[in-house]
Structures are given as structure tokens and as C-alpha cells.
Amino acid sequence: MIAVIGLGFVGLTTALGLADKTGQKVYGYDSNPLRRAELHDGQVPFYEPHLNEKLKEHMGNTFIIAENMKQAIINAELIFFCIGTPNDQEGRTELNPLLQAIDESINYTEDSAYKTFVIKSTVPPGTTENHIIPLIKSRGKRIGKDIGLANNPEFLREGMAWIDFIEPDRIVVGVSNGQSSLVLEKLYAHFSAPIYKVSFTNAEFIKYMSNSLLATMISFANEMSMLGSTFEHIDLKQAFHILKQDKRWTGSPAPMTSYVYPGSGFGGYCLPKDVSSLIHTAEEQGYMPTLLKEVVHVNDKVKSFIVAKVEQSVSKNERLGILGLAFKPESDDVRGSASRDIIERLLASGYHNIVAFDPMANLRFHESFNLPIAYAEQLQDLLEECDAVVVLTAWEQFRSVRSMTTNKRIIDGRYFLTE
């Protein structure tokens, strides 16, 4: 049996979706009596396609509106918390309603009956570790022994809530023990989507990252519309339509995903040049392109971030290997290469014993920048002579460097090495 606490967009969709997909009995509870009454009468309190039909179909058999928290959860093995998490005026997430609901629900957990609490509300990274686990422990319950815990962010879109819930692209489950993970895997086996088991904090982070990316794309489009409107002869509708014909948006797997990948910053001939040029042009037009400026700022900041990572684990007199000089793999182009900026910052910071290797770009890099570093002929040569290695270009042949050496510290600046 399943309980869903909070019957807003997410909670009602979750409750009906789980009833529909699993055939299990789902008890839903909302603290708002008006909402409970409307649902009892078969009325969905907001417009969302399919929910009215599904409410009528499941109400009273697989979906029961509970009159109180106790009735909802007393016999449930899985309890989904779908409470709102609005921000206060400073942007801080108000966790109290969610924490209060969890606290109240603990009153109805018997020591003998194991229940898994599943947090579906969107919460800031660290919330489960720093607030929810301490709360449960303060009530004398042991995580994984008396109560199972999982963070299971929801990615549905309003207006498409039913389809998105029933046919998710991915299911993210933040867990810390095998039992909670098994319970959710069993439940979500009814859905044909890959299940990613991650830490609590990573699950929370993935949800925020997903929405932040969407917000950045919208702001990007809006910045372009505001900037574009400072020119005559720009047809924004047409420009956006043609922009989206790029097959990097449409392939399968969509190559656009390679742009949403952390690394050591974008480089090459075009991206740095064109973004800077557009900023300059915008300013000439009297438009301040704040988002684009931040894009460049972050691209610079991430290089110092990589240097700081090196500084944390490599001392200045050690031999430091740099893997990758070209701005991207399968290329010998070093124009705008992030490796150049990073090596220059490492030199400035006192690393004078640097050796670099790139499968194609050693010579071109040396001739272009003439930096006081050595070059290795082969990957193996570099690995033998260095104390530590930082990978800056994602060449396929670098992917397995961890297994090619036993005693070297390796900093994966591209987040792609196999462990």
C-alpha cells in the first residue's frame, strides 16, 4: 500500500499515476480540507489534462482520499511526500511544511512495520542529509532499520503532468541503503524508464541543475530577443526557427547533450570569439547582455577552479603532466584552448615542472604559445615521468589512464575517466 502526502500538481499526479500503473491501493492526504472535499467530489482543483478522467476511474477503489495523516500512512509501506517548497523573500527554501509533515508522519510508524519515506518535493542539495535525516533520528528512528529513506525528484511539466509521470525519461532515486533502493526499483519496474540510483544530495542537485539549465536556455533566448530588437532588419521569429534546425538539437542521441557537460571551459576558434563579439556588439547597441557576460565569466572562473584543484593535491616542485592541448578531441586546433590558459595560470602559480601530451597538437601548441613546458612523445612516457596528471581534453585514449598507472594522482578535468 502507498500513501501520498500533499495532493497538489505533483502529489495528485503521483497518487493517480501510481494507482494506474501499479494497481496498488494509494491513500492520498492533503492538509487542506477544501482540497480534500473537492477531490472527494471528483473535482481536480486545478486544470491538468487527463487527471479528471483518472480521478473518476480510480476514486474509491485504487485511490482513497484519507481524512487524516494517520489513516493515509498507517498501513502504507511507501510514503511519498509531495509538499510545496516555496521560497521566502530572500530566495531561501521554506522547508518547514515538509519537515512538519515528515515529523507528523513519524507519529504513525510502528517499530515493527518498516516504511520507506520518499521525498518528491524539490529541496536544495543537502536537505536530506542536513535536515531530514537529523529529524528522523531525533525521533529515535534508525534510517534503514526502522524507516527507509529516498529522494525521488519529480521532473513532470505542468500541462503535461500525466504523460510525463507515466512515461518518464529517467527516474532518479537518491538512496543510502540497499533496502530503500530495492523497494523503489520494484515500484518503478512498472515504468519503462532507466532508474539512476545516486546519493541523496546528488538527487537533489540533479533536479536543481535540470531546472537551472532550462532557465538558462530561456534567459539566453530572451537575451537574444532583447539584443536582436536593438537592430533593424532582424526577424526574431525567423532567426529562432532557423537556429533550431541545427541537427545538434535533433539527433539521437542528441549531440546537444555534449554541450551540457562540465569540463575546463569552452574554447576553440568560434565560441570564445563569437560570444565576446556579440557582447561587444550588444554594448555598442546600448544593450547590456548580462547573461552572455556571465557565460564568459564562468568560462574564465572554471579554469581557476581546475588550477585550485591541482594546487590542493600537487606541490609546486612535483612533475605535473597535462593531458590534452587541443581545444577538443579529434582536433589539432589549439586556438582558444582552455589548456593554454590553465597552463599559464599553473606556471604563474609556481608549477615550473610541467610536461604535456596531446595525440595531435603538441607541435602546434608549442609553436603557437611557446610556453616553458616540456612535451612527451607518447602518453605512456608522460605517465612514467609525472607525479600527478591533469586531464584537460577528452581524448578517447585518455579515458583509461587510471588503469594505466598505479601510483599517480589523476585530476579528471573532463569528468570522463573510467574508474
Ligand X SMILES: NC(=O)c1ccc[n+]([C@@H]2O[C@H](COP(=O)([O-])OP(=O)(O)OC[C@H]3O[C@@H](n4cnc5c(N)ncnc54)[C@H](O)[C@@H]3O)[C@@H](O)[C@H]2O)c1
Beta-strand runs (E) in 38-123 = 63-65, 78-81, 115-119
Burial pattern 327-354, b for ≥16 Cβ within 10 A else e, equals bbbeeeebebbbbbbbbebbeeeebebb
Identity of the residue, 84 or 329, whose beta carbon is nearer to ligand X in the bound complex? 84
Spatial distance between the Cα atoms of 229 and 231, rounded to a whole number of angstroms: 5
- The angle at the Cα of 253, spanning 161 to 329, to the nearest 5 degrees, equals 135
- Nearest approach in angstroms of CB 204 to ligand X is 11
Exposed/middle/buried for 54, CB within 10 Å: 0-12, 13-18, 19+? buried
Identity of the residue, 100 or 349, whose beta carbon is nearer to ligand X in the bound complex? 100
Question: According to the binding rule CB under 6 A, does residue 29 interact with ligand X?
Answer: yes
Exposed/middle/buried for 21, CB within 10 Å: 0-12, 13-18, 19+? middle
Footprint of ligand X on 106-135 (CB under 6 A): 121-122
Identity of the residue, 3 or 401, whose beta carbon is nearer to ligand X in the bound complex? 3
Q: How many positions of this chain bind ligand X (CB under 6 A)?
A: 24
Instruction: Write the DSSP assignment of 121-136 as a string of letters.
Output: S---TTHIIIIIHHHH
- Nearest approach in angstroms of CB 38 to ligand X is 10
Which residue, among 317, 328, 324, has the nearest Cα to 389 in the 3D structure? 324
Alpha helices in 261-375 (DSSP H): 271-284, 290-313, 338-349, 362-369
| Distant-in-sequence, close-in-space partners of 294: CB < 8 Å, separation ≥ 6 | none
Nearest residue (beta carbon) to ligand X: 8
Question: According to the binding rule CB under 6 A, does residue 82 interact with ligand X?
Answer: yes
Identity of the residue, 48 or 358, whose beta carbon is nearer to ligand X in the bound complex? 48
Residues in the chain: 419
- Return the residue of 64, 79, 99, 101 that touches ligand X, per CB under 6 A: 101
- Return the residue of 156, 310, 382, 392 that touches ligand X, per CB under 6 A: 156
Cβ neighbour number for residue 277 with a 10 Å cutoff:
10
Q: Of the ranges 134-142, 154-162, 174-182, 285-293, which one interacts with ligand X (CB under 6 A)?
A: 154-162
410 with 379: CB under 8 angstroms? no
In three-state secondary structure terms, 345 is helix
φ, ψ at 336 (rounded to 5°): 70, 15
Spatial distance between the Cα atoms of 261 and 414, rounded to a whole number of angstroms: 8
- Nearest approach in angstroms of CB 78 to ligand X is 16
- Return the residue of 100, 258, 290, 317 that touches ligand X, per CB under 6 A: 100
Q: Of the ranges 26-34, 55-63, 235-243, 314-322, which one interacts with ligand X (CB under 6 A)?
A: 26-34
- Return the residue of 5, 150, 392, 417 that touches ligand X, per CB under 6 A: 5
Question: According to the binding rule CB under 6 A, does residue 158 interact with ligand X?
Answer: yes
Identity of the residue, 32 or 52, whose beta carbon is nearer to ligand X in the bound complex? 32
Cβ neighbour number for residue 53 with a 10 Å cutoff:
12
Footprint of ligand X on 228-247 (CB under 6 A): none
Identity of the residue, 42 or 262, whose beta carbon is nearer to ligand X in the bound complex? 42
- Return the residue of 10, 206, 373, 383 that touches ligand X, per CB under 6 A: 10
Which residue, among 326, 325, 315, 318, has the nearest Cα to 356 in the 3D structure? 325
- Return the residue of 8, 124, 144, 336 that touches ligand X, per CB under 6 A: 8
- Nearest approach in angstroms of CB 99 to ligand X is 9
- Return the residue of 3, 4, 9, 65 that touches ligand X, per CB under 6 A: 9
- Nearest approach in angstroms of CB 198 to ligand X is 17
Cβ neighbour number for residue 325 with a 10 Å cutoff:
30
Q: Of the ranges 4-12, 232-240, 300-308, 405-413, which one interacts with ligand X (CB under 6 A)?
A: 4-12
Q: Of the ranges 1-9, 141-149, 321-329, 343-351, which one interacts with ligand X (CB under 6 A)?
A: 1-9
Identity of the residue, 152 or 339, whose beta carbon is nearer to ligand X in the bound complex? 152
Question: According to the binding rule CB under 6 A, does residue 30 interact with ligand X?
Answer: yes
Identity of the residue, 8 or 228, whose beta carbon is nearer to ligand X in the bound complex? 8
Spatial distance between the Cα atoms of 328 and 395, rounded to a whole number of angstroms: 8
What is the grid cell recorded at 205? 542537485
- Return the residue of 31, 71, 225, 285 that touches ligand X, per CB under 6 A: 31
Question: According to the binding rule CB under 6 A, does residue 343 interact with ligand X?
Answer: no
Query: Could you list the residues that contact ligand X (CB under 6 A)?
Result: 5-11, 29-32, 35, 82-85, 97, 100-101, 121-122, 154, 156, 158
